[in-house]
Structure 1
Amino acid sequence: MKFPFNDKKKNRKKKKRFSLKWKWTIGATLAIFLTISVFSIVIFVGFRQIMFTQEEENFREVLFGASKRLVDENKLTDSDSTALSKATVYSAFNPSYSPDTMRSTEEYDQRNTTFEDAGNYQDTLYAKMNEEDVIVKVYTPTSRLLFESKLGDFSFKGSSEPVIKRIEVNGEEGYYGVMPVISDETNQIIGYVQVIDGMTEYHNMIDVTIISLVAMNFAALISSGIIGYLLASNFLKPIKTITNTMNDLRQDTQSTSRIEVTEGNDELDHLSMVFNDMLDKMQKYIEQQKQFVEDVSHELRTPVAVMEGHLKLLDRWGKKDPAILDESLSASLQEITRMKSLVQEMLDLSRAEQVEIHYKNEKTAIKAVIQQTYNNFSMIHPDFIFNLDDDIYDDIYVAIYRNHLEQILVILLDNAVKYSNERKEVHISVSTDDREVQIAIQDFGEGMTQEDTEKIFNRFYRIDKARSRYKGGNGLGLAIAKELLNGYNGNITVESVLNHGTIFRISLPIYREES
């Protein structure tokens, strides 16, 4: 029987993965390319508009300039004021012209009434009229052609008002214009000027610009692809490192592989630091769980073995012997009580290892807790002298849960009482600075060697196992105190001299709202 879910799962596995690097590369390439393309289009449109405006201005200058030049020349030559003549037109458009230079009208006609002597042009009007794509024609009021600067087959229609429009010239856009030539003396139309501008320079420039922009965009596409790939590779390098680290952890949960954090101080570096911190905590919790199981198994083995031995003894022959029965029951109950105490301390230790998760931002008034604990021990142990040197104010708070602070103080004071000898005296001192509160608890009892002070905070460590068990200790109290203080960013140290006593010093950060 086939399951659709399994088929879908197989299909997902078979589906080829599209790398995030290539997604980013394509995305970055398209973004850069589209940006450059948009700017290119904007630049092209703006440049085209400027060139077109310039061409239109040049066209108008030729059209209106030629008309004005004809009016002025007609006035100077005192010609017939009713119509332009060839001599007037030729004189207006050729500064080097004189009647003697033209041998006959037939010679003028044989030249097809064209004008090509650009070398004699002495101002911009002549230069613009002689451009390759500009044709200037002059007509009489009766539409008879008097002059054309270049050959060109274009229709003509006179108009009493200036006419400017766009037409097709040699398959491309151009300008067409007709301007009446009006005499200043008679205010009558004495001729017409026709100008056709093919805008060859404009079209050549536009073609060159388009080719240049296309080449630039193609180069931008290639370069943006390279840049996008390099950027994607650089940005995804930490993610690849994270993936490799996760694969290492998947293969070995105890792997010490970590992400290398650079000095970039950006979001990816922050992610790497958070990920490393998470891995450290996970590994710490795994090790704690493993240690917890090992410790419980080791410590419970003895009481279980003792109970098993007594029960076997009772099963064999102790059922009817009151003395053996009482002894076995008493020993079994004692071991059960010890196991209950051990299990409770192990639970306390397990909770102490997780204070960062469950007891963040807790605060406690230190003075009240110290005073209450001092009073309780003074009442419980009337045969001891407890000296309290309190040098703090009521409004000082420490960053710790109240019950945990009490638990730490009880563990330390209980040990001070347990391991005191003839001098039954305990000193408690409390002081503070700008950052921390320091608490010192001193007894004058058995003391420890230097080797013992280095191991005293280890789980189940006892200086004298037989004596510690007799006094009711499991070797977990100081381990619990240390774990609690570590969870609240505190610290605990010990100073001891064998047979002279011990001093435990703890420090806790002062609670501040901004923290």
Structure 2
Amino acid sequence: MNHKWKSLTFKLWLTIITAIILSVLFAYSLSQYYYKNLYVEKLKTDLVNEASLLGGDYTGGEISDDFKEKVEWFNSKNESEVFVVNNPRELSACLPFEIDYDTLISEEERQMLLAGKAVEKEGYEKRFEKNIVAAIIPLIDDDRLEGIIYTYVSVDSITDLLKEFAAKWLAAILLFLIIAIFFTTKWLKKLVSPIKEIEAAAHRVSEGDYDIQLQVKSHDEIGKLAQAFNEMANSIHLEEERKKEFLENVAHELRTPLSYVKGYTHAILDGVVKNEGEERKYLQLISREALRLQRIVGDLMDLSKVDGDSFHSCKTPIAFAQFIEDVLVKYEPIIKEKQLHLQLELDPDPIIYGDEGRMEQILHNIIDNAIQYTNPGGSIHITLIQQNKECELSISDTGTGIPKADLPYVMNRFYRVNKARSRFDGGSGLGLSIVKKMVEWQQGKMEIQSTEKIGTTVKIILPTIKEEWTS
């Protein structure tokens, strides 16, 4: 039950019904306001104007019979009751019933009349036994109240009409509320139904069911929410698949060197090795596989750092051409050994803002691949050019190249081309994905172009600080 009161459906239902009730009460209050301020106030103004016009014919002195006759004639032609009074004895002659003149006006009203002010009255008048709206105009001569013109209208019929209106209004409102509650409940049920479907789908996703897809039935906010949920579910599904594939690849990459280490170690311990030469050979194999394990773990740690928030660095301005030349010094022996032709075209102007250690790791990975997969006697061409506020580093080789089918995937984690002697075969399959992440971390872009059996070109585009640095 408590859950029901806290539901969105109930909150919306309560909000709408409350708004309807408040609207009805406001409309009723508005009708009462208009009755009070438009009808009644206008009625008072009209009565005052009528009495004032009649009073305008009073010329002073005692109230004459001619003046009284004019008032009586006006009374016979007008909807309101009008009479003139100058003393208690004449009051009964003016009306078909007796009225106590002494209580017709109060002392406070008498003082207002003596001051020349009109008196307005509203409500139940005991003397007439009616609900009236009245106006009293003084007839003054030499600061003496000679008499009054009293005009009034009975509003009993209007009051009865308002009571009848209120009763019918209440009945209509009750009927309207019943209808409104019925249709509001049905409408809210239809409105909230997609949200409940999203809620149920969210629970299924939390339990590992990522294949669920919601039907987008509208293009409003709820429809967009359902579409966003589908995209989220697909994204989570894809990420889970990648995670699963990643863990499988990690297990596979670690299993192979571990099996070698285990096998060679057992061979030595079990006495399979017969002489010192074979034992040394086995120890070298164990050392090689241990280094392979070390590289895989190192790559995984680097990948974890660039993926997370623990990737720290120290960026400084780097004269890029000189930096590339310094890195290439380490490769001179192997380049000579493989008789490779190295061509450099380095623009000395580009200055980048980067981490020297990370930039060296990027260059090492790309140059290592270029040397490894270029046959003896081949060539490697490295160019660096300035382009507006960016610089482009291009490393091309005449190596084995990458098959067209594999090219879109070579920067994916653990992806390796399985063809013999192919470019990025071997290793952990993490190198290029790490390089790509590091380049992007430094606000750069990385592209690979390759043709099988012709060669490969790796391009890295980085922002420069040439203008800022030289200023």
486 and 284 in structure 1: CA distance in 2 versus 1, 3 angstrom threshold: farther
Conserved in 2, the CA contact under 8 Å of 1:468 and 1:474? no
Aligned to 1:243: 199
229 and 510 in structure 1: CA distance in 2 versus 1, 3 angstrom threshold: farther
| CA positional deviation for 1:414 | 0.8
Conserved in 2, the CA contact under 8 Å of 1:248 and 1:255? no
Query: 2:99 matched to 1:148?
Result: no
Of 42, 50, 57, which residue of structure 1 is paired with 2:38? 50
Q: Write the letter of the residue equivalent to 2:132.
A: G
The whole-number CA distance in structure 1 between the counterparts of 2:158 and 2:35 is: 11
Aligned to 1:99: none
Deviates more, 1:269-278 or 1:40-49: 269-278
Deviates more, 1:337-346 or 1:430-439: 430-439
Aligned to 1:136: 82
Aligned to 2:295: 341
The whole-number CA distance in structure 2 between the counterparts of 1:249 and 1:57 is: 74
Of 109, 132, 143, which residue of structure 2 is paired with 1:174? 132
| CA positional deviation for 1:229 | 6.3
The whole-number CA distance in structure 2 between the counterparts of 1:401 and 1:222 is: 72
179 and 349 in structure 1: CA distance in 2 versus 1, 3 angstrom threshold: closer
Q: What are the within-5 Å matches in structure 2 for residues 216-255 of structure 1? A: 239-240=195-196, 242-255=198-211
| CA positional deviation for 1:145 | 3.3
Query: 2:461 matched to 1:461?
Result: no
Q: Percent identity?
A: 19
377 and 241 in structure 1: CA distance in 2 versus 1, 3 angstrom threshold: farther
Of 442, 452, 476, which residue of structure 1 is paired with 2:396? 442
The whole-number CA distance in structure 2 between the counterparts of 1:387 and 1:173 is: 113
Query: 2:372 matched to 1:418?
Result: yes
The whole-number CA distance in structure 2 between the counterparts of 1:141 and 1:53 is: 30
Of 153, 166, 180, which residue of structure 2 is paired with 1:197? 153
Q: Write the letter of the residue equivalent to 2:288.
A: Q
> Which residues of structure 2 form unaligned runs of 5+?
466-471
| CA positional deviation for 1:51 | 2.1
The whole-number CA distance in structure 2 between the counterparts of 1:247 and 1:409 is: 47
Secondary structure of 2:451 counterpart: strand
The whole-number CA distance in structure 1 between the counterparts of 2:135 and 2:51 is: 7
Conserved in 2, the CA contact under 8 Å of 1:173 and 1:199? yes
Q: What are the within-5 Å matches in structure 2 for residues 96-495 of structure 1? A: 118=76, 121=77, 127=78, 131=79, 134-139=80-85, 141=87, 143-145=89-91, 147-148=93-94, 151-152=96-97, 154-157=99-102, 162=113, 164=119, 165-166=121-122, 168-169=124-125, 173-175=131-133, 181=139, 193-200=149-156, 203=159, 207=163, 239-240=195-196, 242-255=198-211, 257=213, 279=233, 282-318=236-272, 321-352=275-306, 354=307, 368-369=319-320, 371-382=322-333, 383=336, 385-390=341-346, 394=350, 403-423=357-377, 425-431=379-385, 438-451=392-405, 453=407, 456-457=410-411, 459=414, 461-463=416-418, 473-482=427-436, 484=438, 490-495=445-450
53 and 460 in structure 1: CA distance in 2 versus 1, 3 angstrom threshold: closer
| CA positional deviation for 1:295 | 1.2
| CA positional deviation for 1:442 | 0.4
Secondary structure of 1:29 counterpart: helix
Conserved in 1, the CA contact under 8 Å of 2:350 and 2:391? no
412 and 68 in structure 1: CA distance in 2 versus 1, 3 angstrom threshold: same
The whole-number CA distance in structure 2 between the counterparts of 1:368 and 1:271 is: 50
The whole-number CA distance in structure 2 between the counterparts of 1:261 and 1:363 is: 52
The whole-number CA distance in structure 1 between the counterparts of 2:189 and 2:357 is: 52
The whole-number CA distance in structure 2 between the counterparts of 1:193 and 1:89 is: 10
Aligned to 1:19: 7
Count of aligned residue pairs for this structure pair:
445
Conserved in 2, the CA contact under 8 Å of 1:139 and 1:146? no
| CA positional deviation for 1:188 | 7.3
Conserved in 2, the CA contact under 8 Å of 1:438 and 1:505? yes
Conserved in 1, the CA contact under 8 Å of 2:381 and 2:397? yes
Conserved in 2, the CA contact under 8 Å of 1:36 and 1:220? no
Secondary structure of 1:143 counterpart: helix
The whole-number CA distance in structure 2 between the counterparts of 1:290 and 1:350 is: 16
Aligned to 2:451: 496
Aligned to 2:469: none
336 and 255 in structure 1: CA distance in 2 versus 1, 3 angstrom threshold: same
Aligned to 1:104: none
Conserved in 2, the CA contact under 8 Å of 1:439 and 1:506? yes
Secondary structure of 1:446 counterpart: coil
| CA positional deviation for 1:20 | 0.3
TM-score computed with the length of structure 1 as normaliser: 0.67
Q: What are the within-5 Å matches in structure 2 for residues 58-97 of structure 1? A: 58-69=46-57, 71=58, 84-85=64-65, 89-90=68-69, 92-94=71-73
Q: Write the letter of the residue equivalent to 1:143.
A: R
The whole-number CA distance in structure 2 between the counterparts of 1:366 and 1:206 is: 87
Conserved in 2, the CA contact under 8 Å of 1:259 and 1:272? yes
| CA positional deviation for 1:246 | 1.2
The whole-number CA distance in structure 1 between the counterparts of 2:187 and 2:445 is: 44
Conserved in 1, the CA contact under 8 Å of 2:319 and 2:351? no
Kindly name which structure, 1 or 2, has the bigger radius of gyration based on alpha carbons.
1
When the two chains are superposed, the root-mean-square deviation of aligned CA atoms in Å is 4.8
| CA positional deviation for 1:405 | 4.5
| CA positional deviation for 1:443 | 1.0
The whole-number CA distance in structure 2 between the counterparts of 1:35 and 1:433 is: 67
180 and 27 in structure 1: CA distance in 2 versus 1, 3 angstrom threshold: closer
The whole-number CA distance in structure 2 between the counterparts of 1:423 and 1:201 is: 118
| CA positional deviation for 1:422 | 2.8
The whole-number CA distance in structure 2 between the counterparts of 1:258 and 1:392 is: 57
The whole-number CA distance in structure 1 between the counterparts of 2:135 and 2:49 is: 11
Q: Write the letter of the residue equivalent to 1:494.
A: Q
Q: Write the letter of the residue equivalent to 1:416.
A: A
Query: 2:25 matched to 1:37?
Result: yes
Cα shift readout 1:221-254 (whole Å, capped 9, x = no counterpart): 6787689769967875774454244133134344
| CA positional deviation for 1:411 | 1.3
Cα shift readout 1:469-511 (whole Å, capped 9, x = no counterpart): 9x9734432343345557768443231241x332223456789
